[in-house]
Amino acid sequence: MKLEPDQLVRHEMHGEGFVVADLGSTVVVRFDTAIHQVERASLRLQRSLDSALQAGQMDDSLAVLCRAQALAISSVNDQWGVFSRSRVQLLPHQLWVCRQVTREWPIRWLVADDVGLGKTIEAGLILEPLIASGRVRRVLVLAPARLVPQWRARMKTMFDIRLQEYTTDSDRGRISFWETAHQVVASFHTLRMEKPRKRLLQAEPWDLVIVDEAHHFQAQERAATLTYGLLSELANAGRIGSLVLFTGTPHRGKDFGFLALMQLLRPDLFDPEKEMEQQLSALPQAMIRNNKALVTDLEGNKLFRPVETRAVDYSYSEAEEAFYRTMSEFILDGRAYAASLSGRQQTARMLLLIALQKLAASSISAITRALRRRRAMLVSTLLDAASSDTVEPETLDEIAEIEESRPGQIAVLLMQDEIARLDEIIALADEITGETKIATLLDLIENELPAGEPLLLFTEYKATQALVYEALEARFGKGSVGFINGDERLVLASADGVEVTLPLSRETAADDFNAGRTRFLISTEAGGEGIDLQERCAVLVHVDMPWNPMRLHQRVGRLNRYGQKRAVSVFLLRNPRTVEARIWALLQEKLTRIQATLSASMDEPEDISQLVIGMAGNQFFDELYAAGSVRGGDGLSAWFDRSTQQFGGRDAVETVRAMLGNVARYDFQSAGAEIPKLDLPALEPFFRNAMSLAGRRVTRGEEGLSVATPEVWRGSLELRDRYDALTFDRFMRSDQSLLRLLGVGHPLLDRAITESTDQQVFLTRARGISAPLIIAQVEDEITGTGATVHRIVIGMEGAGNATSSVQRDWELLLRLNSLEPGMDIATPPTFAEFSDLDALFTTLKTHDAILELPFRRPKLRRIIALLPEGTSV
């Protein structure tokens, strides 16, 4: 008998497929996305819905319902990852990012979402289904060293993805670390070193590489950075299959660097040697950016409220004013002397003076401590060595640590009589009995904030952090204050003048603060990334003003993130009479003007300050404040305008406008209807049905669901004999085993889906419907497209007329969950039901819903039909 096109067959090696052409002794069959020519004798004809309808052969109702639910679950999760077993509430924009990134294989995307939108969750949503499906076996996550432990912890607790942490100690043996490690997180700064880099390049290729803080990988024109070189060498050596980059500041001021980064992703679309304007139209194919102003919940409600920011002004006391004036004169004289030099001599002194100026702007305590150490060093060594830092700082905290230590390490004289000048300044510092800034802070806490209000405070330097710590603990009691900084210790002065070192890990400090065991948390920039502090705190105080405004954005991002239940209030302590405060005010005014200019030409609101600031870079702000210190009086504004012509100028605004106007982004108006409006609890009806079909009864107790594993499944090493305290609640306690959480990826649920999907059942009757329900499978007739989703399930219910409703896969699952197995399954379809099913399928073929699916040539096959119970022949 000749096999007809689209007949369902099974091959022992290739599995189930559809006949393409019968060539006699051989048959061309499509199996999944591959087409093979196989021997006719190797094929077995399979039942299908069409053959069941022709024979009027009805199937077990529970088995058909289970198969339909399993197919719908797989379809939903393949596209959206919504049934991922993460411990956090999934948001529409995160699900959208997951689907957008994983639509095609290999994956090549830059995700530039705003701070606080959940990049780690997005990475897990992308990664988990790829690992579960077997498409990804080897994955490498590259991140800054300080974020490596967080990536490892969050992937494990949120998704049960167990990344191995790479360290140089783990790779000292004769056998390379990379030969046995398949899912790894590593510091990209560590891998820049020659030996680790060489071994990595010799390792087996990675199916997927994920890069956090990817702006570190931008190339400089005509000279690649070490980090860029690492990624470039991996790519050129054929070691990267798929690549996903995450960064909030994708463009760092140079088109070349940005386009070089994009070229790593899509060399077919981007070239740093060509003009930016020629390549903007390609951005939607490779770059995603979502911002807080636009993201919503499933109902379309905005997730974030505007941040309320207020300056808290104070004035110096007479003693502080004398100190500040004398310190300013010292810096001005030092700059004059440095200007008379050249080369490394000048550079070393300018770096030192900038560090001193920053410390003075932070607190008198910070600058005085640095000056005392500098004086001691000069007296003991007095070397004229124009040294500079040779190690590239990895984090903002490391930059601050270098600046804080620089005065006591660089032994170049800033002026001929420097030691005498230092003695004068230190003597003035000794006359200050208390800093007005600290008194203003305490007054703010006691008189303007509600009693007991949790408070997050940021300082740039550890000396200022120690000053605030001591003041808060003295006023509000021992144990009320925690701290976070880069080296997880704080040096305090005891009553007898002896320094005491207080150790505290950042995780412990954050946990204590979130749990309410401490009221205050003082952080340096180490807490500006990678730590969530929004659980109970909505008030932040900037004790000092970092010169780079980007740091304020990152600081506020610790509180203004999903899960925050209140509008975040931000207080900025400042003395408006200082040059630093005046430059800061001018800078904010300029950013406001830039924002207004850009917003006027955009359809949707977008906070672009982070992007504009990121394009300027740290050096611009250092030079701006340092040069501003020699200006004063009425001329400061005019000088500022001249000095910042390029900052946020026409080129920057046009670049940002062009970039944001061409990226892909989540939009509730267009994507909201598609995004599944369900979560893990929608799996429970299927789970109960599948267990019942396998002869097991699911019971519910105080701790959750319990069930014994079906006997015929117990040969699998992945499965236990029994499961207790199972739950579909993502918000289970963090100390409970993730094995309790049922979702796609749990071995018991995965087995239930596989067993149900493989059931050869197609036609039955069910309770809960009044008209036929047809379930169809859509796939792309075109093979080799690189798509990660090959089949999508949809449904249509009714009589095949204008009132019939199309159901997306997630809507179909909810509908199936409302049905019960039919009792009367012996009655074959009536003539009217045959007609209705044909009409439904014909209507579905031409429905717009099919055209909206991500297939070039969608092909529809009907696979299951559910008929109402109680129909008479």
Which residues touch 159 (CB under 8 Å, ≥6 apart)?
A: 84, 85, 86, 124, 127, 128, 745
**Is 3.40.50.300 the CATH number for 305-577?**
yes
**Cα–Cα distance for residue pair 690/99, rounded to 1 Å:** 28
Instruction: Dig out the tokens for 861 from the structure.
Output: 């096959």
Cα 592 to Cα 610: distance, rounded to the nearest angstrom? 12
Query: What six digits make up the tokens of 780?
Result: 């792309």
Order of all β-strands in the sheet with 722-726: 699-701, 704-708, 722-726
Q: Tokens 């014909």 correspond to what residue? A: 842
Cα torsion 333, 335, 339, 345: sign = positive
d(CA 584, CA 274): 36
What is the greatest pairwise CA distance in the chain?
110
Q: What percent of the chain has pLDDT over 90?
A: 49
The residue among 190, 194, 183, 242 whose CA lies nearest residue 216 is 190
Give pLDDT, residue 182.
94
User: Would you say 525 and 487 are in contact if contact means Cβ atoms under 8 Å apart?
Assistant: no
Distance (Å, whole) CA 162 – CA 184: 8
* Closest alpha carbon to 105 in 241, 283, 262, 297: 241
Q: What is the pLDDT of residue 386?
A: 41
H helical segments located in 381-476: 396-405, 418-430, 436-447, 462-476
Residue 491 host element (H or E): strand 489-493
Quote the CA–CA distance of 810 and 475 in Å, as a whole number. 56
Cis peptide before 393 (omega within 30 of 0): no
pLDDT of residue 634: 62
DSSP state for residue 816 in the 8-state scheme: H
What's the length of the chain? Answer: 873
Place of tokens 């505290």: 504
User: Between β-strands 520-523 and 455-458, what pairing exists: parallel, antiparallel or unpaired?
Assistant: parallel
* Gap between the terminal Cα atoms of the chain: 33
Residue ranges of the chain with pLDDT lower than 50?
Answer: 383-391, 872-873
| Cα–Cα–Cα angle for 114, 591, 122, rounded to 5 degrees | 5
CB 408 within 8 A of CB 370: yes
CA 248/CA 229 separation, integer angstroms: 21
Torsion 781-783-789-790 (CA) sign: positive
Tell me which residue of 166, 138, 141, 140 sits closest to 151, measured CA to CA: 141
In eight-state DSSP terms, residue 19 is E
What gap in Å lies between CA 340 and CA 348, rounded to an integer? 13
Cα–Cα nearest to 129, from 726, 678, 723, 753: 753
Matching residue, tokens 């060093």:
377
Token pair, residue 93, equals: 């924009």
- In the three-class reduction of DSSP (H, G, I as helix; E, B as strand; rest coil), residue 183 is classed as strand
Angle, alpha carbons 389-529-356 (nearest 5°): 35
Nearest to 84 by CA among 97, 576, 183: 97
pTM of the model: 0.81
Three-class secondary structure assignment of 331-381: HHHHHHHHHCCCHHHHHHHHHHHHHHHHHHHHCHHHHHHHHHHHHHHHHHC
And the tokens for 448?
A: 């303007």
User: Which H or E element spans position 124?
Assistant: helix 119-133
Helix axes 61-80, 747-757, angle to 10 degrees: 120
Other CB atoms within 10 A of residue 694 CB: 18
Which residues, other chains included, contact 478 with Cβ-Cβ below 8 Å and sequence gap of 6+?
Answer: none
**Which of 55, 91, 138, 267 is closest to 675 using CA atoms?**
91
pLDDT of residue 57: 93
Q: Which of 613, 611, 616, 593 is nearest to 661 (CA)?
A: 611
Q: What is the separation of C-alpha 171 from the centre of its chain, rounded to a whole number of angstroms?
A: 28
**Alpha-carbon dihedral sign for residues 253, 257, 260, 261:** negative
* Phi, psi angle pair for 846, to nearest 5°: -105, 10
CB neighbour list of residue 121: distance below 8 Å, 6 or more residues apart: 86, 88, 90, 94, 158
Nearest CA to 86 out of 748, 751, 743, 686 is that of 743
For the domain made up of 90-288, give the CATH fold. Answer: Rossmann fold (3.40.50)
User: What is residue 739's three-state secondary structure?
Assistant: helix
Alpha-carbon separation of residue 382 from 101, 238, 378, 409 (angstroms): 58, 53, 5, 11
* Pairwise CA distance, residues 407 & 376, whole Å: 11
C-beta of residue 713 within 8 angstroms of C-beta of residue 719: yes
Neighbours of 340 (CB within 10 A): 8
E strand or H helix that includes residue 822 = none
* CA dihedral over 687, 689, 694, 699, signed as positive or negative: positive
Contacts of 262 (CB under 8 A, 6+ apart): 110, 269, 270, 279, 283, 286, 287
CB crowding 809-840: b at 16 or more within 10 Å, else e: bbbbbbbbbebebbeebebbbeeebbebbebb
Alpha-carbon gap, residue 275 to 256, rounded angstroms: 9
Tokens representing 325? 């004036």
Q: Cα(521)–Cα(48) distance, rounded to whole angstroms?
A: 64
CATH architecture of 1-46: Roll (2.30)
Residues in CB range of 67: below 8 A, 6 or more apart: 756, 757, 759, 761, 864
Nearest to 148 by CA among 479, 529, 578: 529
Give the model's pLDDT for residue 473.
Answer: 95
Number of Cα atoms under 13 Å in the Cβ half of residue 331: 29
